[in-house]
């Protein structure tokens, strides 16, 4: 695990993200943040906590509930050389603004023959586990990773969140930064212990496309991201010597780290919180099969079955993979 | 985080998720829905329970749904934000103004079938700026459909006051840009809403086209249960609580010499039948896998 | 191949689709068709040719250029018991209307505990090969197949188009029916010969989830759909004994037919016109790996690399897989 | 398919894809863009070339782009529907009203930087009903941004006449619902457009907020090259061709005693420098793989 173990300044994931945004905004007057309820309310998920006090409402901008309008406005502000962050409150709302996201933000650089660049960050909250039902609980990792032109980043700890956010803001391409609500450390949605980590004061970047081995192990490779990094780490306490790889970014994708691990273990379990089919798990498996079919003895995928997320707690619990599901799959690869 | 101590963990307890309570908005629900029949359609947004009650949704089954029970209106799959009761033409969904195009579709269906059904789409004033609503205004207008758009203006979109995000201040003025009748009830009064809605629903039912009706209401509570409302002054909270339309209706009735006893009796005639949380039906605790994965999308819908 | 060989009534794919819609509309007064330019213009892709004459503008309805409004209207018309078809002119426009498509059309049945159904068909034109550039040339198969609640159908011949369209209209669930512009037989966009097939006069359905072996072969399995069925068939003339499987629907997915073929050949080439990563090819490979890892000797995927579709002809030709690319991959599986 | 014989295979030839020509819409381009400077932003929809020319886009490089050449404005990747020339602040895209939010963003940028840049978003009258446009009206209005929305009303959205899909008939009335100034130039006349646009652009530049300006133009040709226009009467086609604003401008000038020779001289002063199809630069015929896949999205955009 890449975090220096001796750090005694621990932070929540949201705290780490906000620290980065503040640091970068102090350094660059052309940065601003747009979103719903990001000013006086500090962001529904504490994503802008305290920023309005320091930067004022012009730079921490509440916007109309018009995702198409303000995300599109961010695209061209970025093209004009500013550095906007636009927050889509829940990733589940992508459907009202996807045209600006994928046809403009993601494509303009390519379509223009690289005569424009779009240095913006689109943040969005993802994930379930608190019974917010079908329209507020999705991960949708695959939906964004499938469409070219956006980098797609998913932090799982405060340490990673900081390094990835610095990198996202400094990147000259559009970056979709998906943070899991359950990991943020919000008052009304308690986080598990895992994401709260030591975080250095100074700035540092974590390059995209560098997966992180969160736990080394010899027997089975578990590839995952976001909340499920922590569930996989929990599952890894079950006896089998599991290696847990946190992808950290889906685009670009770090094939090498996964391949290397599978060469060692021969067994691959892919876990995520997105829908099972045509998504992340299929892609991870195929990358390995294309390049290391011979190394692969067995494969399991653990994801949300292809149904919308149900509301009731036992139903949602059944649908979203937990550490028991991961343990079962680990055992399956051994049988 | 000082001062931002939320009430509770919204992922725990008997009613998890983002529960949006509607206390203070009753006039908009009752004043409009009183004109509607079971076969009329209502679509509602995230803050929906007052509207559901006014439209006649089955209270026991709605309560069961809020508690995530099998006996709920949506078998516990939908939850309190996605209440469907097709027996009374009610559907709710939580993405801003997502219910507007479906309301237009219900009105289009009525027109195609030459029936006098009316559709009502409720939205909050914060949603006045969302594309789906705006496109729906044009669609309804150009086809002269029997639909009424009702905007519940409670001054707040979570933490954002209306004038920070929307122009003009009077949301019913949106209608002017779409060749549609617009009207606004500027005070939170059920009788005033009833009268304005009577015009609008009547217009629709008689085939004279759509209306956009904005209604002033009040948000007595936080945005969702658990929201600490740090963005909102105590004064504003008190003011909203004071403008309770139910209390004021009672006062109005007293002015007509209706006494406390009679008022109590009236209250008792309201829907009281809904059962408490523990009596709404079997918990969804048994391994739900089969039920979860079957009917993913396919109830049989026989074609005659 | 499932087409009776002796049929002498041949039709274009659009002709077959229109015939079905007309037949079903005659039988059911509650059916109607909404889209842009579908009335007087007969559909940009001839998708409603002649229908306005027969059914009038009330049932073959031109609509405002408000995809969100009219697709959402179709959803509730369907819920009220009507049987609408809504046409999204180009699938590339999904971004302006995706919320109604995936959060309402696809989810309402599940969210309501099956107390409503949404018997509608959403049609859309897909695909490139005529230099219509980044915003009009995509397949986006994976984008729709990933999100639960919609059936996703892709015909490759007039015969299949007819049977799948009957099935789509009669289905009580929402069906996304993606037709490839290049296969329709439009005057201004000549089709290859393949899609023009014999088509029986009488009605018949082709059930979803039944892949079709368009060519039997013993050496290599090529799994594909849409336009690329024809390119794969062309590639199969190259000497190697190739089996070509046309998936015909992505949701539901016919795992069995593919598995069976791979058991025989041991070699799998997956070909499609969607973006490479996190899409169709990854899913097909993973399904096979999950259930038939032992049978698999080698795997290739042939898809559009992860960049937007460029305009210029040589560039687009380079990006969209052609039969040479498929031949190369077939040979790779043998080396 | 009788009568529906298209001109040609749009997937073949030197200029493939859906090419939308703008003959008959020149007044809207020139009349507005004459007020703009290089650093002002213009976003245009699918029918864009007249606007590009008026905004001062590099004609050689635009022509090269139309022919898909490496030397084109977008290296042949964008094509005739997606022309970008950032030197003169021009960008086009083909999804209806997709350019409106970016125009708003450019205006927002100007406001943030305290510069007097103006942004203009062009759309067709068929796009008056699209959410991105409607949301942009509100965003521009509530933030009082220096943006002008220009609606080119050529009566047709492909095959759909305006009144079949849009209410009201006068698209500039949309402004009324958004607390914005609206104006319409009811006849296809470059001087009239110039005057109305002068007001609108001036208003924006002076910080007095956005304007919605609708301008009557004519579609002399088919929707895209290859479209057989079966839906359109010959009479309508002739009428549109007759209302050529360039010819009428010439007549107006003649009325001011400007003779044919002078007119010819004026014409010659227009941009004539663009080269023909075969002289616009190297074809993109060499195996383009590397160039295709590099710069997928990442030109270096140095941060100072
Ligand atoms: C498209 C979309 N954007 C954002 C949200 C998040 N959201 C839920 S409620 C809300 C505020 C709504 O305000 P208003 O419409 O005034 O209704 P109120 O809550 O006041 O009843 C927001 C922004 C959403 N559900 N959908
Ligand atoms: C969101 C979206 N829907 C549909 C289309 C297809 N389309 C391209 S041009 C056009 C008609 C546009 O009419 P109008 O806006 O009046 O412009 P005109 O072609 O007349 O210049 C349509 C429907 C599109 N590009 N984007
Ligand atoms: Mg409100
Ligand atoms: Mg037009």
Interface ipTM? 0.97
Q: Tell me the pLDDT band of C6, cut-offs 50, 70 and 90.
A: low
Atom of ligand 1 minimally distant from the CA of C99:
1
Whether residues A184 and A41 share a domain: the answer is: yes
Backbone CA torsion sign across C247, C251, C255, C256:
negative
Residue A134 CA to ligand 2 centre (angstroms): 33
CB-CB neighbors (< 8 A) of A143 in chain C: 143, 146-147
Q: Are B282 and B68 in contact (CB under 8 A)?
A: no
Q: Do C264 and C172 lie in a common domain?
A: no
Contacts of D291 (CB under 8 A, 6+ apart): D75
| Domain match, A173 and A84 both | yes
Q: How many domains does chain C have?
A: 2
For residue C203, being part of any structural domain is answered with no
Q: Which ligand approaches the C-alpha of residue B155 most closely?
A: 3
Expressed in angstroms and rounded, the spacing between residue B136 Cα and the centre of ligand 2 is 18
CA of D32 to the centre of ligand 2 (A): 21
Instruction: Assess if residue C138 is contained within a domain.
Output: yes
Range A67-91 average pLDDT: 98
Q: How far apart are CA D91 and CA D65, in angstroms?
A: 13
A239: Cβ contacts below 8 Å, ≥ 6 apart: none
Q: What CA–CA distance (Å, rounded) separates D200 from D212?
A: 8
Q: C15, C40, C65, C182: best mutation site toward chain D, by most D Cβ within 10 Å? A: C65
pLDDT digits (tens, 9 = 90+) for A208-255: 999 999 999 999 999 999 999 999 999 999 989 999 999 999 999 999
What residue spans define the domains of chain D?
Answer: 17-268
B150 to B128, B193, B206: CA distances (angstroms): 11, 10, 18
Residues C185 and C300 in one domain: no
Chains touching chain C, criterion 3+ CB pairs below 8 Å? A, B, D
Quick check: is C136 catalytic? yes
Rounding to the nearest 10 degrees, give the CA dihedral for residues C198, C231, C284, A94: -90
Beta bridge partners of D119: D41, D147
Across all residues in chain A, what is the average pLDDT? 96
Is there a single domain that holds both residue C263 and residue C171? no
C-beta of C98 in contact with ligand 2 (< 6 A): no
Q: Which two tokens stand for residue A295?
A: 């190394």
Q: Look at residues D151, D177, D246, D282 and name the one whose alpha carbon lies nearest to residue B212.
A: D177
Q: Residue C181: CA atoms inside 13 Å, Cβ hemisphere, count?
A: 29
Chain B residues within an 8 Å CB radius of D178: 167-168, 174, 177
Q: Which residue lies with its CA nearest to atom 13 of ligand 1?
A: B157
- Distance (Å, rounded) from C-alpha A154 to C-alpha A273? 12
C296 shares contact with chain A (CB less than 8 Å): yes
Residue A86 CA to ligand 1 centre (angstroms) = 17
Among B158, B164, B220, residue to substitute to test ligand 1 (most atoms within 8 Å of Cβ): B158
Whether B124 lines ligand 1, by a CB cut-off of 6 Å, is yes
Chain C residues whose beta carbon lies within 8 Å of the beta carbon of residue D158: 36-37, 41, 44
| The predicted structure's pLDDT at residue B297 | 43
The per-residue pLDDT for B272 is 59
The answer to whether residue A34 is domain-embedded is yes
CA D295, CA D303: separation in Å to the nearest integer? 18
- The backbone torsions φ and ψ at residue B150, rounded to the nearest 5 degrees and listed phi first, read -110, 120
Judged by CB atoms closer than 8 Å, whether chains meet at B298 and C117 is answered as yes
d(CA D295, CA C16): 42
Predicted confidence (pLDDT) per residue in B259-288, tens digit: 999 999 988 887 655 555 556 666 665 555
Q: What is the pLDDT along chain D (304 residues), one digit of tens a residue?
A: 334 566 678 888 899 999 999 999 999 999 999 999 999 999 999 999 999 999 999 999 999 999 999 999 999 999 999 999 999 999 999 999 999 999 999 999 999 999 999 999 999 999 999 999 999 999 999 999 999 999 999 999 999 999 999 999 999 999 999 999 999 999 999 999 999 999 999 999 999 999 999 999 999 999 998 898 999 999 999 999 999 899 889 999 999 999 999 999 988 887 655 555 556 666 665 555 556 665 444 433 333 2
Q: How open is the CA angle A331-C288-C253, to the nearest 5 degrees?
A: 115
Q: Which residue of D has its CA nearest to B144?
A: D167
To which residue do tokens 């305006």 refer?
D162
- At A8 the pLDDT is 84
Is the C-beta atom of B125 inside 6 A of ligand 1?
yes
Same-domain check for residues C53 and C194: yes
Please indicate, yes or no, if residue A207 is contained in any of the structural domains: no
Per-residue tokens: A201: 């004061």
Are C92 and C222 within one domain?
no
pLDDT in tens, A107-135: 999 999 999 999 999 999 999 999 999 99
Q: How far is CA D172 from CA B52, B175, D148, D176, D179, in A?
A: 38, 14, 12, 8, 12
Q: Clarify whether residues C96 and C155 are in a common domain.
A: yes
Within-domain flag for C3: no
Residue linked to tokens 């100072």:
D304
**pLDDT at residue D226, as a whole number:** 87
pLDDT for residue D276: 56
Contact residues on chain C for A96, CB-CB shorter than 8 A: 68, 98-99
Q: Which listed residue (A136, A166, A228, A230) is catalytic? A: A136
Other beta carbons within 10 angstroms of residue A26's beta carbon come to 11
Asked if C19 and C47 touch (Cβ cutoff 8 Å), the reply is: no
Cα separations in angstroms, D141 against A8, A64, C294, D119, D130: 49, 11, 63, 14, 17
Please judge whether D93 and C131 are an interchain contact, meaning their C-beta atoms are less than 8 angstroms apart. no
Query: What DSSP character marks residue A103?
Result: I
Ligand nearest to the CA of C135: 2
For residue D2, the model assigns a pLDDT of 39
- Answer yes or no: is A111 within a domain: yes
Tens of pLDDT along C71-106? 999 999 999 999 999 999 999 999 999 999 999 999
Residue B303: its pLDDT value, please? 31
Give the tokens for residue D301: 């955009």
d(CA C199, CA A318): 46
Largest CA distance in chain A: 59
Is there a contact between C314 and D288 if contact means CB atoms under 8 Å apart?
A: yes
Flag whether A189 is in a domain. Answer: yes
Assigned token pair, A126: 């993802």
- CATH number of domain containing C238: 3.40.50.920
Weakly modelled stretches of chain B, pLDDT under 70: 1-7, 271-304
Apex CA B173: angle with CA D162 and CA D122, to 5°? 40
Query: How far apart are the C-alpha atoms of A77 and A118, rounded to whole Å?
Result: 8
CB contact under 8 A, A28 and D303: yes
Look up the CATH superfamily of D17-268. Thiamin diphosphate (ThDP)-binding fold, Pyr/PP domains (3.40.50.970)
Say if CB B289 and CB A305 are below 8 A apart. Answer: no
Q: Exposed (0-12), middle (13-18) or buried (19+): which is D276, by Cβ within 10 Å?
A: exposed
Q: With respect to residue A5, please indicate whether it lies within any of the assigned structural domains.
A: no
- Predicted confidence at residue B304, as pLDDT, reads 28
Count chain B–chain D contacts defined by CB atoms under 8 A.
Answer: 68
Helices and strands (H and E) in chain D: how many: 11, 9
Q: Please give the pLDDT value at position B270.
A: 72
- What are the DSSP calls for C141-160, one per residue? HHHHHHSTT-EEE---SHHH
Interstrand relation of C175-180 and C151-153 (parallel, antiparallel or unpaired):
parallel
pLDDT range class, residue A105, cuts 50, 70, 90:
very high
CATH of the domain at A78: 3.40.50.970
> Cα–Cα distance between C83 and C59 in angstroms, integer?
11
Distances (CA, A) of D139 to A70, D99, D136, D142: 8, 14, 5, 5
Of D190, D185, D232, D240, nearest in space to D212 by CA = D185
CA distance D134 to chain C (A): 11
By three-state DSSP, how is residue A124 classified?
Answer: strand
pLDDT 10s digits, C55-69 = 999 999 999 999 999
Give percent of chain C above pLDDT 70.
98
Strand order of the β-sheet with D41-44 is D84-85, D90-92, D41-44, D119-124, D147-153, D211-216, D181-185
Nearest-Cα distance to chain A for B252, in Å, is 37
Q: Which of D22, D29, D46, D134 has most ligand 2 atoms within 8 Å of CB, for mutation?
A: D46
Polymer length in residues for chain B = 304
Cα–Cα distance for residue pair C151/D216, rounded to 1 Å:
44
Q: Which domain holds residue A268?
A: 212-332
CA distance C102 to C138: 19
Is the Cα torsion angle D14, D19, D25, D27 positive or negative in sign?
negative
**Interchain proximity D131–B131, CB inside 8 Å:** yes
Same domain? For C122 and C17 the reply is: yes
Instruction: Out of C198, C232, C252, pick the residue that ends a domain.
Output: C198
């Amino acid at each position: 695990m890449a975090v220096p173990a001796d750090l005694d300044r621990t932070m929540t994931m949201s705290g780490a993200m906000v620290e980065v945004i503040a640091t970068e905004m102090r350094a660059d007057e052309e940065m601003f943040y747009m979103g719903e309820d990001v000013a006086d309310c500090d962001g529904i998920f504490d994503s802008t906590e305290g920023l309005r006090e320091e930067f004022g409402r012009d730079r921490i901008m509440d916007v109309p509930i018009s995702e198409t309008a303000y995300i599109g406005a961010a695209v061209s502000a970025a093209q004009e050389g500013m550095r906007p962050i636009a927050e889509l409150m829940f990733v589940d709302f992508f459907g009202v603004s996807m045209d600006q996201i994928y046809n403009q933000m993601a494509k303009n650089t390519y379509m223009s023959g690289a005569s424009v660049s779009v240095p913006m960050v689109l943040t969005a909250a993802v994930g379930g586990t608190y019974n917010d039902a079908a329209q507020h609980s999705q991960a949708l990792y695959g939906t964004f990773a499938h469409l070219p032109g956006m980098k797609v980043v998913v932090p799982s700890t405060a340490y990673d969140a900081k390094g990835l956010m610095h990198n996202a803001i400094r990147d000259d391409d559009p970056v979709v930064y998906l943070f899991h609500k359950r990991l943020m450390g919000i008052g009304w949605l308690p986080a598990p212990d895992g994401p709260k980590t030591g975080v250095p004061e100074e700035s540092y970047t974590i390059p995209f496309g560098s997966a992180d081995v969160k736990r080394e192990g010899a027997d089975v490779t578990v590839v995952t991201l976001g909340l499920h990094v922590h569930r996989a780490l929990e599952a890894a306490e079950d006896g089998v010597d599991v290696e847990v790889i946190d992808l950290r970014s889906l685009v670009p994708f770090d094939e090498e780290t996964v391949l290397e691990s599978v060469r060692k273990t021969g067994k691959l379990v892919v876990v995520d919180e997105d829908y099972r089919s045509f998504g992340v798990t299929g892609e991870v498996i195929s990358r390995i099969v294309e390049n290391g079919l011979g190394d692969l003895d067995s494969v399991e995928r653990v994801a949300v079955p292809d149904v919308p997320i149900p509301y009731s707690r036992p139903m949602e619990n059944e649908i979203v993979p937990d550490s028991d599901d991961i343990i079962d799959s680990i055992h399956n690869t051994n049988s | 985080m000082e001062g931002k101590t939320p009430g509770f963990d919204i992922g725990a307890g008997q009613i998890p998720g983002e529960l949006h309570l509607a206390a203070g908005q009753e006039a908009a629900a009752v004043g409009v829905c009183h004109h509607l029949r079971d076969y009329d359609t209502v679509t509602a947004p995230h803050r929906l329970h007052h509207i559901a009650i006014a439209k006649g949704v089955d209270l026991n089954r709605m309560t069961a749904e809020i508690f995530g029970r099998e006996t709920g209106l949506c078998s516990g799959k939908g939850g309190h934000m996605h209440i469907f009761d097709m027996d009374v033409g009610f559907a709710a969904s939580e993405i801003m103004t997502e219910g507007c195009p479906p309301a237009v579709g219900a009105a289009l269906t009525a027109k195609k079938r030459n029936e006098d059904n009316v559709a009502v789409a409720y939205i909050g004033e914060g949603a006045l700026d969302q594309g789906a609503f705006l496109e729906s205004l044009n669609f309804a207008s150009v086809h002269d459909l029997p639909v009424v758009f009702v905007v519940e203006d409670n001054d707040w979109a979570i933490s954002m006051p209306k004038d920070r995000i929307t122009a003009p201040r009077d949301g019913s003025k949106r209608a002017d840009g779409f060749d549609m009748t617009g009207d606004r009830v500027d005070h939170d009064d059920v009788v005033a809403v009833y009268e304005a809605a009577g015009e609008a629903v009547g217009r629709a039912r008689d085939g004279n086209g759509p209306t956009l009706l904005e209604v002033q209401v009040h948000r007595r509570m936080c945005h969702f249960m658990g929201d600490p409302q740090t963005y909102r002054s105590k004064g504003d909270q008190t003011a909203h609580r004071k403008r309770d339309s139910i209390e004021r209706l009672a006062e109005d009735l007293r002015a007509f010499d209706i006494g406390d006893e009679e008022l109590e009796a009236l209250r008792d005639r309201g829907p009281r039948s809904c059962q408490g949380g523990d009596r709404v039906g079997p918990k969804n605790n048994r391994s739900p896998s089969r039920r979860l994965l079957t009917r993913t999308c396919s109830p049989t819908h026989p074609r005659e």
